[in-house]
Structure 1
């Protein structure tokens, strides 16, 4: 079964809007695990617009499932990850002013940089994943960096799903087949939702984990967190 990791950035965004501690990020993380989530994902950015670096430190003592920290591996981020030692770190090439992640790594162009960062994390016992577009060449390039996993950037799939889901999924199937052939673990994330997750999960061979935040929290406004988490788990079976 594909694991569900819930990204709680949007919970932090809501909390920060009023400057207090409502909603309580740590309690939400614990509740999500109680509801069945198999992982908690955060993506701290340098401006701490949602997840704060202290949140990451506090969550280390709260999260009992898989803790996944995403981010651009600038030195401040690297230092944070090495301090916390989560089960997984996902490297994302987002610029400082990006609203959200909007591209995968060019794993060929940035091979040397990524290899050095990944070596540092692996020496600390942290599993690594690289955010990539659904391009077999980028998957092959990821293998050369030494990473254990890739995370397929699924925004294009989500955007095209309604018009033609069979066409939308094709690049992801090819990328996944390449990853399977070379022994790379496969994660996926970005704009996956209750509407499109089941088809994606059934079409992608050996999908290990999905990371879902924005859609899940929006859906929970109507359906409730407990219900939504279990709806995702049902669709991922």
Structure 2
């Protein structure tokens, strides 16, 4: 039977959130901190666009994590099917990560710097503009959830470097050139000498992405929970 979610109703948002959280554990990861249910309560009536951004980001996170897990399972590329499947998943990863990071920047600026959102949205390079905004302003007050949020300089610089690496090495090459992924997926047996090795760096930073999004969507409730978990 078709499973329908009314995302413009609280019950639908709660069901969507609960089911996607449960499904994520089949891949061995959890991202319940990014709460669509909380985003509905905090933003649906006040700033509906941020709520819809939360829905899209949660879906993107699921796609991103599941693609990374699938790449891990295929990393040996021990047969023809695995080789071509790995290439397929890698190209998919590039697209999924670019989509996720674009949505992450959008919601960070929309929630934290609403007066800058229109100019950011029109910017020729959103990544450069986001880096400038985040580094110049540091901590920001999230009015809708009544809390301050800081963007660590190291994290901001890393996100900019990583998206540039993805864009420079893959977007133009894969769409308009001969394709860089093909040059190592089918010829290099040692993945530590390939762009695949960069995935571990991304995995190491995913907690920061999730914590920032948790604070944006859930506010002080999530921040206080995070403080308890990090306390010695």
Q: TM-score, normalised by structure 1?
A: 0.30
Q: Relative to total residues, which structure has the larger helix share, 1 or 2?
A: 2
Between structure 1 and structure 2, the one with the greater Rg is 2
Q: TM-score, normalised by structure 2?
A: 0.31
